[in-house]
Amino acid sequence: MQATREVIQAVGRMCRTFVKSRNINIYIEDKLLEKIYSGELRKRIMSPELEAIAVLRETLGSDYSDERQRILNTAEKISSTGMWTIKGLLYRKWNERSMQIWHELRELVLTFPTANQSQYNADYNLKMLYITAGKKIQQIPLLSVL
């Protein structure tokens, strides 16, 4: 979804300028095109340039399944929450409360680079900031070498 939004924004900015050629060529890499969600594009009134990108994306084949799209949307929402929390701390005046939040976030991610299901269920902050795999994954026990 983020790639889709960025393409919409970039094409929109390009199209709003008054200094442009009559013939517009847009070059888009295959990897980026694969990340675009045409369903999101189709929700909007599209410029001819954005319509061409949507048609090109649709020629690649189907978008994500509904379940995959739900997982991606949830992951994006959670990662945005974390990003805006950190940006909010950095852009406002640094005080005792923001230092405490920063310290707690730092401690959380260093203590739990990953979290199993029981840790995830037991900690509100993990639920707010961590993305689940959406399915059970195999745990590999690590041996400590002394």
DSSP 90-118: HHS---HHHHHHHHHHHHHHHH-SS--HH
- pLDDT at position 146 is 44
Residue 63 confidence class, pLDDT cut points 50, 70, 90: low
Phi, then psi, of 135 in degrees rounded to 5 = -155, 165
Quick one: what percent of the chain has pLDDT higher than 90?
Answer: 2
Cβ-based neighbours of 3, under 8 Å, separated by 6 or more: 32, 35, 36
DSSP state of 143: P
pLDDT (mean) for 28-45:
83
Question: Which tens digits make up the pLDDT trace of 80-138?
Answer: 888 888 888 888 888 998 889 889 988 988 888 888 888 888 988 888 888 777 666 66
59 is written with which tokens? 């020629």
Q: 4 and 40 in contact (C-beta within 8 Å)?
A: yes
Could you tell me which residue, 75 or 63, shows the higher pLDDT?
75
Residue 64 confidence class, pLDDT cut points 50, 70, 90: low
Q: 112 and 126 in contact (C-beta within 8 Å)?
A: yes
**Res. 48: pLDDT tops 70:** yes
What HEC string does 75-89 produce?
HHHHHHHHHHHHHHH
- pLDDT at position 140 is 56
- pLDDT at position 135 is 66
Q: What is the pTM of this model?
A: 0.48
